[in-house]
Structure 1
Amino acid sequence: MFAARILPRRLCRPAQTTLRQTRTLTLPQPTPRRPPPFHKSPHPSREELHATKRRQTFLTIGAVTSMITLYVLAIQSPQHSLDSLPHPPIQPGAPVILITDEEKRAGVELVPSGTTSVPGFPKHLEIGDQKYTLIGLGIRTVSFLGIQVYVVGLYVSTSDLPTLSTHLLQYVAPSGATSTTVSERDSLRTLLLSPEDSERIFTALLQNSHISTALRIVPTRNTDFSHLRDGWIRSITARARQGGVYEDPGWTTALDEFRRLFGGRGSVPKKKTLLLVRDGEGKLTCWYDPEGRGDGKLGGETVKLGDIKDYRVGLALWLGYLAGGKVASVPARESVVEGLVELVGRPVGSVV
């Protein structure tokens, strides 16, 4: 003890320093701090929600519009793009077009179809021993894109034109009149374009006047019989829901007969011809011309698809193009109306 006491104080420092360092190394390490608790962001306001919803709506509309535009550009050539533009109704007496030398030699009179996808329509048809005259024609389109399906023209038996003119005169002209004034023709146009009046006038015309008529249909693109038939069935069925003459139990049988007539017949290429002929008694006869002749005659390869004797099938089909608030082709209906107005503007029997 004494020896330790007399030793210089500085000789004892290394031991004290070592002990202090040892204590420092053995002390427990401080616990790391925990991260602050997670705080949820406040709920967005109503205005922010509306703004987000508007952005999503605009983006969706833009995406759908882009896809539709790409689809249209993909399926349409420049020629089809021009054809998709609206065409005015074909006016009666439009310039006759004689295209080929053969047609010129044959004296075939053609009326513009309104689209470059379909050749001009012959002004006259010869079906059996009857001659028919074109009253009007137009393009049928579907969907908001205005996709063209076919061109349809209404023909009337040339020998029945005086009867047709007389039937129409009774609605606008004095009894016994053989032609009309400008104001009377305007009145007839208004009646024939009115949903209610056109239904009444054309129904009486097709049921009571015993006039022979024909529809000439030429597709603007490849299609098939089933597709055309289904469109006609929808139009006929919608009209039959109005009741009246269609409530007879035999109506279902007649409609099934019409459906079978076009079933399982394959394709109808563009520019080929379908003829639906309705005689004075209402019997419907259907023809198909695989040649697509444009001279107004039935070629050697023309096929008779069959007959429908029930007059109501043809009645409902014709009214789907001519009468009511919604028709299969607005341009065709307008063109037919203009043709009928011009017909009554001439003396009865002067139109051939």
Structure 2
Amino acid sequence: MSWIAKTTRTSLRLQRSPLARVAASFGSSSAAGRRHFSQSSIHAHGSVIGGKTFGFGLVGALTTVAVTAGVYSTFSSQNIRSDAGVDTVSVVSSVDPLPTKLTAPLSTTYDLIGYGIREVSFLKFQVYALGLYIAEDDLKLVKQILNSKFIESFYEDIQHATTPEEHKENLSRALNDPSVSNILIRNLLTSGVRFTARICAVRNTDLSHLRDGFIRTIKNNPNYGKLMKSEDETVGERITKGLEDLRDTFNTAKMSAKKNSLVFMEIDENQHIRVTVEAIKKAGTSERGQPVVLGTVKEPLVTQLLFESYAGAEKPLIKSVQAIASQSIVDAVC
């Protein structure tokens, strides 16, 4: 598919509004009722904006959105630059390209929404290629969650969106707003939207280095420090235990990760992360062994902190991933 570079700009002067009520921390709701929208509300979640912690809810908003069955059977984002004649995206020439659709070894079909290269140090050493994917079956759910009423609730004096273009402008602003974007990503996760991060090693490494990288990413999320200082001591305890589980999951197998090896971080509807590895058999080839499931990390707060770092605008791990994913989400919704 062709790629059209689009930079969404807004002339709206959007000011943050007080949200519904103060909450000590954000949490998770049960899977039942999150993915079934016969109910008219979603569990309220909190977030930190401007040094204050707020909570919000989606009371009744979902009932105002009509979704046509079958609209999202395939996903086509103008931000995804496919290779000529094939359904892949070349991120860096030294490793295999990213498929625009991903199924095996995952539980369902995922669509590519963002991609980029992780670089470290001032020398910009390339570490891995990251592809961010969303479950194809959940795209209709994204549209229900990120509806115009919800987006407009974050701002004062915003023009009410009466057309898809106006909603697109508002949603793009919110997804690229450092104070709001993490809330939107978190709300997608807590509402049961499934994502996958596909990590492809650009240089020879091992699972311990990748493990430590995931943990650093989580701890570098600005919300990590805020949550660890929560008045509710159980929040910090949950995160600490979740990071231990993440570490233990990677420690279950002593595996090298030669260049072109893959790690999949698949998030299910309960915000659990299923970690799967496909290691290269022989250096310099694309021949991988059978997928190895290392285990599952079940702490939702760890999941939220990790994927906020991929798709949120406050402190994105890879800016291109966040920018492309934001516009892809806008394309899916609008």
Q: TM-score range by the shorter chain?
A: 0.5 to 0.7
Q: Which runs of 5+ in 1 are unaligned?
A: 1-89, 100-108, 293-298, 346-352
Tell me which moved more, 138-147 or 158-167.
Answer: 138-147
Q: 1:122 aligns with which of 90, 96, 99?
A: 99
Tell me by how many angstroms 1:162 deviates.
0.5
SS of the residue 1:328 aligns to: coil
- The structural deviation recorded for 1:128 is 4.8
The one-letter amino acid paired with 1:332 is: V
The alignment partner of 1:159 has SS state of helix
Contact 1:235 / 1:320 at 8 angstroms: preserved in 2? yes
Aligned equivalents of 1:227 and 1:290: distance in 2? Answer: 14
Q: Which residue number in structure 2 is paired with residue 242 of structure 1?
A: 226
Contact 1:180 / 1:344 at 8 angstroms: preserved in 2? no
Partner residue in 2 for 1:77:
none
Paired position in structure 2 for 1:95 = 82
C-alpha distance in 2, partners of 1:233/1:180?
A: 42
Kindly indicate whether residue 92 of structure 2 is the aligned counterpart of residue 145 of structure 1.
no
User: Does residue 325 of structure 1 match 2:314?
Assistant: yes
2:172 to 164, 173, 189: 189
Q: Is 1:279–2:268 an aligned residue pair?
A: yes
State the partner residue of 2:239.
251
- Given residue 126 of structure 2, which amino acid in structure 1 is its aligned partner? Q
1:315 Cα deviation from its structure 2 partner: 1.4
Q: CA deviation at 1:179?
A: 10
Counterparts in 2 of 1:1-352, with a 5 A limit?
92-97=79-84, 109-113=87-91, 115-126=92-103, 127-170=105-148, 171-172=150-151, 181-207=164-190, 209-239=191-221, 240-243=224-227, 244=230, 247-263=235-251, 265-291=254-280, 301-345=290-334
| RMSD between aligned residues | 2.8
SS, match of residue 260 in structure 1: helix
* Alpha-carbon offset, residue 187 of structure 1: 2.5
- Shift in alpha-carbon separation, 1:178–1:219, aligned structure 2, 3 A: farther
- Shift, 1:111, TM fit: 2.1
**1:303 Cα shift?**
0.6
Q: 1:196 to 1:202 in 2, by over 3 A?
A: same
Question: Contact between 2:161 and 2:167, CA under 8 Å: does it hold in 1?
Answer: no
CA drift of 1:309 comes to: 1.6
Q: TM-score, normalised by structure 2?
A: 0.64
Identity %: 28
SS in 1 for 2:109: strand
The structure-2 alpha-carbon separation of the partners of 1:249 and 1:129, relative to structure 1 and needing over 3 Å to count, comes to closer
For structure 2, which runs of at least 5 residues remain unmatched after alignment?
A: 1-76, 154-159, 282-287
Measured at CA, do residues 96 and 242 of structure 1 come closer, stay the same or move farther in structure 2, by a change above 3 Å? Answer: same
Aligned 8 A contact 1:193 1:337 in 2: yes
**Structure 2 vs 1, CA of residues 116 and 237 (structure 1 numbering), >3 Å: closer, same or farther?**
same
Cα distance in structure 2, aligned partners of 1:337 and 1:181: 16
Offset of residue 226 of structure 1: 1.3
- In structure 1, distance between residues paired with 2:187 and 2:296: 23
Letter aligned with residue 140 of structure 2: P
1:96-140 deviations in whole A, cap 9, x for unaligned? 4457xxxxxxxxx21232x21222211111145511111111111
Size of the alignment, in residue pairs?
Answer: 237
SS in 2 for 1:270: coil
Q: By how many angstroms is 1:253 displaced?
A: 2.1
- Whether the 8 Å contact between 1:220 and 1:271 is mirrored in structure 2 is yes
How much does 1:92 deviate? 2.8
Contact 1:149 1:219 in 2 (8 A): yes
